[in-house]
Structure 1
Amino acid sequence: MTLKVTDLSYDYGRQPVLKQVSLQLNSGVNVLLGPNGAGKSTLFSLLTGLYVSKQGDIAYGDLSLTKQPRAVRALLGVVFQQSTLDLDLTVKQNLLYHASLHGLSAKQALANIDDILTDLKLSQRLSDRVRTLNGGHRRRLEIARALMHQPKYLLLDEPTVGLDNESRQLIIGHIRKLAQARGICVVWTTHLMDEVCEQDNLIVLNRGEVKAQGICAELCCTHKAEQVYQLYHILTDSAEIM
């Protein structure tokens, strides 16, 4: 699975947010790292089709997001930074409502994520109202929901921000295992450097520009950085170490 971004720019009026961003992301975990205000969320909105740029192109495999948006969206599983769950419905009702939007029967939808619900410790919470779940369980539910139609691409916008350590580690571990087992192309935006592994395809974004992209360990070697914290500091010229 390949995701290719070519010369993508975006601005809010006179303020440029992204400047000719070009990327090629493949199956596995692709981490988009950058400080707050780097343009990560804007890029994420463009990748999901929420925003449309007048300049540049986004292609999922052979499909153009601009020309074939419906076909592309069928391939995407998306978890936004802000929760989109219905708090008054149960876990199961939230899942099945989303499944119906993809034309899936209840039986097929739940079968598709049976192992995921187990891994994310949600199997025993299907009858609970979402309102009763803590933040970590709600985020796990959103991830399970995004995977119900078995997407080829999984886009996650800072999915672990504000979560307890147990939920963070559970989510990170599950997504990495899933990417390897199913060959999914995962796009993970974050500003938390402890979420980056040496083998990840890393893209460092700062002030709307791509400062580097490649395997994290190789980038550290190229820039003479001992670890990703130092690499981040070099590439963003920032004293902000998260």
Structure 2
Amino acid sequence: MRVALFITCVNDTIFPGTGKATVGLLRRLGVEVDFPLAQTCCGQMHLNTGYRDEAVKLANRFTATFAGYDAVVAPSGSCAAMVREQYPHLDIENVPKVYDLSEFLVDVLKTTDVGAYFPHKVTYHPTCHSLRGLKVGDKPFTLLENVRGLELVPLPGAEECCGFGGTFAVKNRDVSAAMCADKIGNVMKTGAEVLCAADNSCLLHIGGTLKRQKSGVRVLHLAEILASTEENAG
């Protein structure tokens, strides 16, 4: 199976550790991962703000860059949903098969125990695109439940949006901040040390507020927890 990593803009620019964790995890599971250097943006930001022609150009570039791969793994439900849900509406042909990380692990590799070790109290925020777009269901929870040493605690109001929504947070700042405040309140109720999600864009939004409030709660992408072992657990 030929597998490629699509790192996404947010991860490449701000959270490169997530991409490294994804590759390290997959290699540990026996999957060799390519990283096509020609990859750029999937076009989601452009489409969401009305620049359809520019989004189409990026979508065609994406399709050409990842042509020939059996699977493209993206540590972002948001970008994976863009390719799977929106490319057909843009009349993009030969769209490669793109998977969220949890989907690839559970549905393709048929594994729910990746040999991870992370001795911390964790709560999980199911991001909107992974929950409603990709419909990954309980796959992330199942993966976390099989991490040794990890105590997974439920997040009240888990399915409520954090308020980020890409450009929504810019155009509707006050509403976005209020939604994030509600999410923060629920995170604090859990007593968790770590908030986990499968989209760093949401973690950037929530994590910024957690940091400003000096909450002591840190945020980590699912890939980073699953990549953790007894040798490198943080």
Using the size of structure 1 for normalisation, the TM-score is 0.29
Which structure: greater helix fraction?
2
Using the size of structure 2 for normalisation, the TM-score is 0.29
Q: Which has the higher contact order (CA 8 A, sep 6+)?
A: 1
Which structure: greater strand fraction?
1
Q: Which protein is bigger by CA-based radius of gyration? A: 1
